[in-house]
Amino acid sequence: MNKILVPLLILLIVSIAVPVQSATALIVVEDFIMKFVVSFTKSGVTKTQIENFLNNQLFPPMRDKLITKLDANFIEYTISKKLTVTSHGNDRWEVYPKIFFSGSTNLSQVALQNGLDSTIDDWLTVFETEMAVQEASNVRYHIHKSFGSIDVNGAL
């Protein structure tokens, strides 16, 4: 009886101590668009000045925040961007940055969605900080998250 009981006990202890790794399906993301729209009032600026500021001052920290998350969670990825700046007259501006990325990850769909939403929250913080520094007013955001689109008045 001991000859059977000892191997069973060893098997039980090993199965408890060494969890079985389940295979996680690879998620392939193709040209996913992370986007939000920011509208604000700012006098004394031109469209070119806003585009240059966004490309040279604002996009680099946004890109770095995304790269940090992608490096930690993606096997491979590519990133590109498109920026639209529109004047609505009377010193009212609208900025529409879109970041495209493609890649492969072992994250679950829920973890991927949470990570993307978290990145958009990080970007919103970057934008709000810069809008305050640049003395923009009447700031509003239209954000596209995994759970749907939302409109937010800026903290300014």
Task: Render pLDDT for 1-30 as a digit per residue (tens, 0 to 9).
Answer: 555 544 444 444 444 444 444 445 788 989
Domains of the chain, residue spans: 24-153
pLDDT value at position 10? 46
CB atoms within 10 A of CB 89: 6
Q: Express each pLDDT in 127-153 by its tens digit.
A: 888 889 999 999 998 988 877 788 877
CA distance 150 to 143: 5
Total-model pTM: 0.74
CA distance 74 to 63: 15
- Regarding the domain delimited by 24-153, which CATH topology (the fold level of the hierarchy) does it fall under? Alpha-Beta Plaits (3.30.70)
